[in-house]
Chain A
Amino acid sequence: MDFDTIIQILDSAVRLMTPLLLACLAGLYSERSGVFDIGLEGKMLMAAFTAAAVAYATGNPWLGLLAGIAGSTALSLIHGLASITFMGNQLISGVAINFLASGMTVLLGQKIFGLGGRTPSLTEGGRFGEITLPFADTIREVPFIGPIYAELLSGHTALVYVAFACVPLTWWILSRTRFGLRLRAVGENPASVDTAGVSVTRLRFAAVAICGVLCGLAGAYLATGLSAGFVKEMTAGRGFIALAALIFAKWRPWSALFATFLFGLLEAIANRYPNLDLGVVTIPSMFMNALPYILTVIILAGFVGRAIPPRAGGEPYVKER
């Protein structure tokens, strides 16, 4: 494996990790506030569809992005209604949202475009273009640093850079702002936040809404950045990989960056080498595909660093006792 190949694989890993990173951070806000969300997959899928549909209709990916955010946030609000307002089971609500998205996207897609659930392919104008960072072409020829800058860092769509910027931003919000402190507190001990006179309901709804927005970005990136249009079930389990990454990262933003990069890299390697020959053994692509899930189970089992979820996670807050 030469240097160019490594750069190509890393470049592909960056593209593939972006939706995972956005969805993972989405889940991070929600779960840190005490609302479990296994509906990341559904929200991404819905966002991918609405983004692709509007981007196709208007020829503008930014309008598509807004539509993606709207689609995903609508599902988030259903999740909030069920799990915060009506104190329902958050896991069951998440399952329902996944199915709702899976069915509605095809139903609407078939109704609007009549292509069996697909949207028509987006042309250049409807997709996010690649951004070339300044001087990328001039220093491309510089050995080592040149390719890293020009191939790996430059030439991604805007949402990739947004996703990476979200990591320090999330870290800052959660650990350095009043809102973030309260958000974390409401996930650990909502009663204390309530006693301090802060609305648990409002905080959790805010977290769920942020989750919707970020899932919207993730879905829009999938449909209008990574590929050109919506295809039935195009998220293909990425929402669950993001969930796995969230646990892997122990609900922390910087670790989320690392975890999603690892999972993106695994996907990139599996795409490039369907059967990875290590000389002694040949690793089948199925194993590479399953590896994120296997790693998560190992982490969850606590054999390699224990993952402890927010204490009040999954429990609706009941004010009167």
Chain B
Amino acid sequence: MDKMPKWADVILTPVISLVLAMAISAIVILAIGESPWMALKTMVDGALGSSYGWGFTLYYTTNFIFTGLAVAVAYHASLFNIGGEGQAMMGGLGVALVLLYLPLPHWVLALPFAMIGAAMFGAAWALIPAWLQAKRGSHIVITTIMFNFIAAALLNYVLVNILRPVGSMDPASARFPEATHLPTLSDLALVLGVEWGKNTPVNVTFFVALIACVLVWALIWRTRLGYEIRAFGRSEPAAMYAGISPVRITVIAMLVSGALAGLMAINNVMGESERLLLNAVEGAGFIGIAVALMGRNHPFGVVLAALLFGFLYQGGGELALWTSIPRELIIVIQALVILFTGALDNMVRMPLERLFLALSNKRKDA
């Protein structure tokens, strides 16, 4: 018998964890001599108060949906993919190579090709840690951390020595051809005759991210492979007994995870900067961890959590602009969310379980 009703497990515990994280963040804001209420108001106004704010919030949300899904898929196979950062970097390299070297006449054609490039490069970067974990038993967390650093070094090398246009000083690739630029949501709104979110980076990738959520949901809960991934994640011996190959599942789950992380590059590299920059990922790979934890590894939860972090990110930028609170407040909030929803989960869960057990016993007695 479950100790708690499902709604308490899925909704109540993350919400309480979030409230705890927010409460501590409020104390931190108080401690640096600012008003938490004003900070929240600034963030809400800046991130959700105008179509301009929403344009940025949804742009960040798109990034975090991809990296959150990446962590979530691996987590179902009970693999902790901490390498989303590196995989997203390599995804960016894939996008850049496709767009710079393939003559693609229109973005409608460029998008699928760039997606293939992004997904393949991201997946390839996850393949080696996956294979090492499955075949050689090396811990995937450590190898994916190492691969983040190796990716950064590799990208630095490629940008400085190969992709940098002649005469340019900063480590970045040339601009992608004009024809491959993705339409932003404000462009689409103008077609409908509405002025929405002018000069904001959110683009059609947002819809790709939502489609990816549906596909991931279908993969995990509606396919045989998804069943195998979940079975493997719950109990490796049981899965092996059922004839599921651990090597196959580990590799496939990590390939899907890496491909999802890589796909983020469609948004930030192809959609926003329109050239490959050195620090294009900006920690989104790590935020994916918080997003997946917060969203309980379910695509719907991931969308909500990604929206929350999109709001925090855009709001944090506004905070730095209008108050003396630095942007890094967001990193603290992110850390607290990871801490409470991930590592200190039992601190919230144990008392709750006891509470629900007491309630159900009382009901039985009555």
Contacts and interface: CB of A to CB of B under 8 A. Distances in A.
A293 B146 contact: yes
B290 to A, nearest CB: 8
A91 B82 contact: yes
A103 B146 contact: no
Interface in A92-109: 92-93, 95-100, 102-104, 106-108
A88 B346 contact: yes
A309 interface: yes
Given A95-B289, A102-B331, A290-B154, A297 B347 contact: no
B329 A99 contact: no
A205 to B, nearest CB: 16
Interface in B118-177: 128, 132, 136-139, 141-143, 145-147, 149-150, 152-154, 156-157, 160-161
A287 B157 contact: yes
Contacts of A82: 339, 343-344
Contacts of B335: 96-100, 102-103
Contacts of A86: 343-347, 350
A89 interface: yes
A290 B157 CA distance: 11
- From B33, B143, B150, residue with most partner A Cβ within 10 Å: B150
A212 to B, nearest CB: 16
- From B138, B161, B329, B346, residue with most partner A Cβ within 10 Å: B138
Nearest to A104: B332
Interface residues of B, number: 51
Contacts of A247: 142
Interface in A50-103: 78, 81-83, 86-93, 95-100, 102-103
Given A95-B338, A96-B338, A99-B335, A107 B143 contact: no
Contact of A92 (B149, B160, B289): B289
A284 interface: yes
A138 B183 CA distance: 74
Given A86-B347, A107-B28, A290-B149, A284 B161 contact: yes
A34 interface: no
B293 interface: yes
B344 A81 contact: yes
Nearest to B340: A96
Contact of B136 (A93, A111, A302): A302
Nearest to A82: B343
B153 A93 contact: no
A309 B329 contact: no
B334 interface: yes
Interface stretch (A143-151, A162-170, A237-245, A254-262): A237-245
Contacts of B338: 92, 95-96, 99
A93 B343 contact: yes
A38 B137 contact: no
A121 interface: no
A300 B143 contact: yes
A297 B339 contact: no
Contacts of A216: none
A88 B142 contact: no
A157 interface: no
A96 B342 contact: yes
B328 interface: yes
A142 interface: no
A293 B31 CA distance: 39
A88 B336 contact: no
B330 interface: yes
Given A89-B343, A103-B330, A301 B132 contact: yes
A130 to B, nearest CB: 31
Nearest to B82: A95
A297 B142 CA distance: 8
Given A92-B289, A110-B326, A300 B132 contact: yes
Contacts of B113: none
Given A88-B346, A243-B142, A103 B80 contact: no
A107 B332 contact: yes
Contacts of A289: 153
12 contacts: A82-B343, A86-B350, A92-B289, A92-B342, A93-B343, A100-B339, A107-B32, A111-B31, A240-B149, A286-B157, A290-B153, A296-B142
- The 9 tightest CB contacts between A and B, nearest first, are A103-B331, A93-B343, A99-B335, A290-B153, A300-B138, A103-B332, A92-B342, A82-B343, A96-B339
